[in-house]
Structure 1
């Protein structure tokens, strides 16, 4: 859909540009035919240049508008969801067992085909699983369901014998340590960027998770260490360093469920494998759900599932 919009916007910009060139040539011909001064010709050239510069942004603007409308539609789906579906009254037990998808369908738009279709999946307490699939396969929708941002269109998402709709949303999310594909670094210190939960974690614990995330040496080299200021949007850190800082946040959490959406995006291959080796150890006994494009081969997993065309299928069990 986005590719079609980009192609249409590009074609429109091209046609308008050619039309402006044609009009300018007609104008130049008219000036010459009527013996007009050179100033008229120069003015037309400037008009052509200004018009072409204006048109250059049309294609990009059209694509951005399409993305904005798509994002707004998703927000609208969330806002218009029935409150009973999103806010239950049951407080979640921190020692709850399995998570189960029971013939789950989901669509963002009622008039379009489901993004997820008849998904059946059981994740036992303490299991480590990976869900792999290409972009557009429905992985982000599956994450949204797990975080109770949206509810199934059909079927049920359950914890033990209780539906997701029965649980208080805030209570449920407190049991999930989530790392999204987009890393946000706040204009604050390293320490405060780690302690987003509002708890006063000890320096030893902060250094431990920084070491596990492969960022300790970088932070130690900073003039103020943990209290060094991170610039706006994390501009004092590289992209990979910012990602590792976000990984350290997740490792700092004691939540029983760890949900990682492309956790090593932006990391080099060596750091990626090092992180997964560490993850195998620090998440022992906790439920780990990873949504990935591919596997590195060093993950210790109980099962691997492929999400393709909105459907889940088991491809490996260890």
Structure 2
């Protein structure tokens, strides 16, 4: 028992002595790694500043800056390890990284997928920082495009973090991709109103608005004959095509349409429904041998018809019998 404790104590002493022997190397390795780490951050900032004034190269600068930062940090890690462990060779590090890379690839597959998708988004630029996009049920301003995820700020001041792989493999609507955007609004007029007159009135009302562009010019088109209205579509263009401009121009267009229709006597009817009742047991109710609502087809299954006159006669006889009874007599 004493021999085992003695061996254990010797082992602990050797580990402590080895640690103190390596302590200067560890301190030097930490200093070297810290230098490379700060150098990587500085190089990233230099690359981003060199491309921040060029819109086309801005995202490319972000990608190159991050890649340069990662490479320099990796080189600093290699040098720090060789300082701590002088017997460690570069081939051993490469082999270790190869084995570790496969394991990390399986363990962090989703993270690597988002990383590659983020790089492709930054390089292809389907949208940029500051654009207003719509993705599934989310809509807002693009705040930042990172290598893992993209953050958007909604119009009600909330932050949404979307994985880059989702954005890269699904449809995204970019509302601010171009400098102008066409808007539309449907107006329902009455069937008694003249369509050409209504189109002229609506077009003149929209053309007078400052929020509506004169080029391209707005237009008004007859859309459909609906159940209780004749629908007319009003289309106009706005610039810039941002959400606030969309809402404000729509507000002004609706007010102008309502006012113009009221001033020119154009009806804006609400939905109406007409219900007709008829008795399908009347003799005049079409071919009674065909299938009707309430009974099956066939001459032998058609119920006895009645006329309005016979029905009135039966009702009169019933009333007469009721009125002819004397008080105290049994009905």
Q: Same fold (TM over 0.5)?
A: no
State which structure, 1 or 2, has the greater radius of gyration over its C-alpha atoms: 2
Q: TM-score, normalised by structure 1?
A: 0.27
Larger relative contact order, structure 1 or 2 (CA cutoff 8 Å, min sep 6): 1
Q: TM-score, normalised by structure 2?
A: 0.27
The structure carrying a bigger helix percent of its residues is 2
